[in-house]
Structure 1
Amino acid sequence: MSDRGGGVDCVFCRLIDEGSAHWVARAAEACAFTPLNPLAPGHTLVVPTRHFTDVFECPPDALTASMSLVQRVAAAMRTALDASGVNILSACGPGSEQSVPHLHFHVVPRWVDDGISTWPTGRSRRSLTGDPGARLAAALDRRP
């Protein structure tokens, strides 16, 4: 059983505990490894080492450590892989197509004319009443 809070059912906690991933970086708060089915050569997953399902439950310190590692991995992709850019992708929550319930960030190296697209091609069918930006601003003003 993981001491990270994710239990044996979390594939990422299991990888961290067993040390069985193809590691790119390992640190106390965050780690990075290559996935089994990469979108591009060098595609890397960055995860907090403690178990948090998504960005909603991740505390600021673990999120900061994870994003710092995302930035370092992205910079390494530019130098080591000669990538001209990166996509940083994360899905959080049931409506987002999150595939593994452990917060993770895909860092995907990109090159001009590499033949893939990681950008959504459609638009949501959801509509809301009122100005969504104003609703968000009001919610942010009510921070705990």
Structure 2
Amino acid sequence: MNCAFCALIQADSARWVARGPVASAFAPLTPIAPGHTLVVPTSHVADLFETPPEVLAETMALVRRVAGTMRSTLGADGVNILNASGPGSEQSVPHLHFHVIPRWHDDGFSTWPTGRSQHHVQGDPIARLASAVAG
């Protein structure tokens, strides 16, 4: 397997925030904010769609713990939690990961999309989703 995150985990070559048997957290190579952290399942799963529910639950629990620690330790006013899953999402590394980015009122950047999708879906997409989720 040629996964950059699995290689980091196996080689123990990351700057670790937390390490666990199910989920781990480490500093990215090019952080966009002080304390920017990546949270990943410790074992390889490609994306949100492939992740077993129990692994996703433990990974998200670590996301929450890291986010809370950013407020208490770094004085962050809030956090952004970013994920891209699947080839249409601009996912850059095929290993599920969440960017946990501390934010401050005066940090001078935005992580929100600046445009809108040009893709069109037949019918009412929210009604279709609600029906399928209930189904």
Give the CA RMSD over aligned residues. 0.7
**TM-score normalised according to structure 2 size:** 0.98
Distance (whole Å) between structure 1 residues aligned to residue 107 and residue 99 of structure 2: 17
How far the C-alpha of 1:141 sits from its partner, in A, is 2.7
Q: Does 1:141 align with 2:134?
A: yes
Aligned position for 1:120: 113
Number of residue pairs the alignment of both structures matches: 135
How far the C-alpha of 1:113 sits from its partner, in A, is 2.0
Aligned position for 1:4: none
Distance (whole Å) between structure 2 residues aligned to residue 122 and residue 53 of structure 1: 27
Deviation >6 Å, runs of 4+: none
User: % of aligned pairs identical?
Assistant: 64
Q: Does 1:10 align with 2:6?
A: no
**TM-score normalised according to structure 1 size:** 0.92
Aligned position for 1:72: 65
Q: Deviations over 1:101-120 (max 9, x none)?
A: 00000000000021111000
The residue identity in structure 2 corresponding to 1:93 is: G
The residue identity in structure 2 corresponding to 1:124 is: S
Unaligned 5+ segments in structure 2 are none
Unaligned 5+ segments in structure 1 are 1-6
